[in-house]
């Protein structure tokens, strides 16, 4: 019998994670069969509904297929995109060898919206260089990003630079500006008609929105972007650790976990 942990993580998610790991490490290979619902119910000492929810999530992500009267079988190798839901950073996919196709849909100097002007520390009526790009992974829409840059930075970029998969690295090389830190805000939103068309989903579908502002060493903003991800293709994982030094409060550092991470968020919890 496998003992699941009591706590905030639902049992179905724990079961799902166990099988994701088995597929990732090769213990379960493509075509391999999972135990039956009854066997899983007995093994984990949970209800059949809990087991079905875990299997449903694995099937939804394309890792398994369920055949009536036969059972549940692994359908994807360990390097499938669904398995590699990581930090919502395109760099993660690149580092793992997952091919991504980036298309720049529009670019030019625009009047910065108020929120963008504040993020980039522009004048209220300030202009910004902006471009919109879409990313496909395995021939399916993955994300769409609207990027805003100070005009003096944008003027140094060539058209091919806008499609560069490592944007911050490109800014360092082409514009001599280096991002030293970034703040990110994650939100769940529902796709409007334009967003749905861009990402190939139905209007009203759930999307993950990630707004990022990157700054140089002097905390001068150099980039502000809003990326929309299809929620069926990404997961943002966060780790938490306690700082070693003692203070009047417990300091915790929350950071994105993945092959690469440019953002860290510090949270302070009163003792």
pTM above 0.85, yes or no: no
Token pair of 132 as six digits: 């919109």
Nearest to 138 by CA among 104, 165, 98, 103: 98
Which top CATH class is 90-269?
A: alpha beta
Domain range summary for the chain, segments of one domain joined by +: 11-74, 90-269
Q: What is the pLDDT of residues 6-46, one digit of tens each?
A: 766 678 888 888 888 788 777 888 889 999 999 999 999 99
Nearest to 256 by CA among 182, 149, 169: 182
Which overall architecture, per CATH, does domain 11-74 show? Answer: Orthogonal Bundle (1.10)
Token pair of 227 as six digits: 């990326």
Q: What is the pLDDT of residues 181-210, one digit of tens each?
A: 888 888 899 999 999 999 998 889 889 898
Tell me what percent of the residues of the chain surpass a pLDDT of 70. 75
Q: What sign results for the dihedral spanned by CA atoms 69, 74, 16, 207? A: negative
Q: What is the pLDDT of residues 152-168, one digit of tens each?
A: 999 999 999 998 877 88
Residue 262's Cβ-count burial label (10 Å; 0-12, 13-18, 19+) is: middle
Q: Which of 105-114, 118-127, 201-210, 232-241 has the lowest mean pLDDT?
A: 232-241
Indicate if 90-269 has the same CATH topology as 11-74.
Answer: no
């Amino acid at each position: 019998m496998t003992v699941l942990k009591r706590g905030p993580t639902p049992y179905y998610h724990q079961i799902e994670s166990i099988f994701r790991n088995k597929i990732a490490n090769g213990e379960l290979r493509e075509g391999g069969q999972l135990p039956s619902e009854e066997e899983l119910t007995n093994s984990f000492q949970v209800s059949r509904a809990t087991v079905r929810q875990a299997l449903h999530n694995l099937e939804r992500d394309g890792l398994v297929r369920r055949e009536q009267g036969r059972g549940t079988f692994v359908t994807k190798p360990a390097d499938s995109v669904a398995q590699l839901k990581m930090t919502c950073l395109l760099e993660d996919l690149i580092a793992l060898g997952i091919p991504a196709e980036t298309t720049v849909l529009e670019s030019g100097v625009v009047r910065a919206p108020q929120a963008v002007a504040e993020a980039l520390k522009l004048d209220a009526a300030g202009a910004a260089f902006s471009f919109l790009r879409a990313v496909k992974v395995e021939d399916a829409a993955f994300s769409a990003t609207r990027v805003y840059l100070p005009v003096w930075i944008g003027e140094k970029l060539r058209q091919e630079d806008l499609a560069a998969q490592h944007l911050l690295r490109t800014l360092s090389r082409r514009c001599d500006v280096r991002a030293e830190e970034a703040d990110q805000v994650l939100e769940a939103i529902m796709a409007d008609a334009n967003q749905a068309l861009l990402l190939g989903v139905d209007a009203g579908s759930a999307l993950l929105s990630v707004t990022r502002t990157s700054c140089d060493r002097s905390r001068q903003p150099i980039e502000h972007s809003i990326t929309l991800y299809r929620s069926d293709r990404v997961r943002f994982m966060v780790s938490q650790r306690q700082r070693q030094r003692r203070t009047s409060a417990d300091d915790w550092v929350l950071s994105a976990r993945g092959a690469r991470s440019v953002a860290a968020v510090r949270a302070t919890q009163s003792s």
